[in-house]
Amino acid sequence: MSHHSGLRRRLVLGGSATLLSAPLAAAQRVLTPSQMPGPFYPVTPPLHKDNDLTRVEGRSGRAAGQIADLSGRVLDLDGRPLAGLRVEIWQCDANGRYRHPRDRADVEEDPDFQGFGHTLTDADGRYRFRTIRPVPYPGRTPHIHAAVFQEGGRPFVTQIYVAGEPLNQRDGLFMRVPEALRPLLLADFVAADDPVATLAAEFDFVLAPALAGLFEASTA
């Protein structure tokens, strides 16, 4: 069984979004809210298996859109870094289309956007991707899907949103998150001093201990 076919059966909504044992104000850290994976997790892995979504194996061009570096850390509730974990992201291209056969959007696919990437956290729990600032998708605010895999447990899945994006307030999935927890799903895309990536964003995952579970893909 391939990694990706296994994921489609095992991926779940992730861990609890709140600390049940303590009020938010008293908690040292709060678990990152989980969200549904959506219908466009890659059916087959892309040829270019890395953390740069702006390049495609065998092509010389670079993805359309605002190139951005997305980085951060994966931590436990006590702030300890979680090293050696696989982190994946996937999102639509600058035209609003996913690299997926089920996306029937009547827009051209960007052939230079990989659409999916993965990396491993280092000893400090850090990860990094080169991608594009997410754009709106029909019915959705800009977002990046993300999954983190813990050994022996189910993948944690969530969606990363753009801080200050007006469409967030009209997005059903984002607004379903309790208001006090919504900032935990926001990444601030700011100007970067880089010749390629004109934007940079930081996003940390705070995870509960690994739990066994089953994956069922959902909508959006």
d(CA 2, CA 45): 10
Do residues 204 and 126 lie in contact, with contact meaning Cβ atoms separated by under 8 Å?
Answer: no
| Contacting residues for 12 by C-beta, under 8 A, at least 6 apart | 154, 155, 157, 213, 214, 215, 216
Residue with tokens 């089953």: 214
Residue 190, pLDDT > 80, answer: yes
Residue with tokens 């090293």: 83
The structural domains of the chain, with segments of one domain joined by +, span: 3-207
pLDDT > 70: what percent of the chain? 80
pLDDT > 90: what percent of the chain? 67
* Burial readout 41-62 (b: 16 or more C-beta within 10 A, e: otherwise): bbeeebeeeebbbbbbeeeeeb
d(CA 188, CA 172): 20
Residue 213, pLDDT > 70, answer: no
d(CA 147, CA 158): 7
pLDDT digits (tens, 9 = 90+) for 89-117: 999 999 999 988 888 788 899 999 999 99
Measuring CA to CA, which residue among 47, 66, 8, 38 is closest to residue 158? 38
Pick among 1.10.1040.10, 3.10.50.40, 2.60.130.10, 3.40.1440.10: CATH of 3-207: 2.60.130.10
d(CA 56, CA 58): 6
pLDDT digits (tens, 9 = 90+) for 58-74: 899 999 999 999 999 99
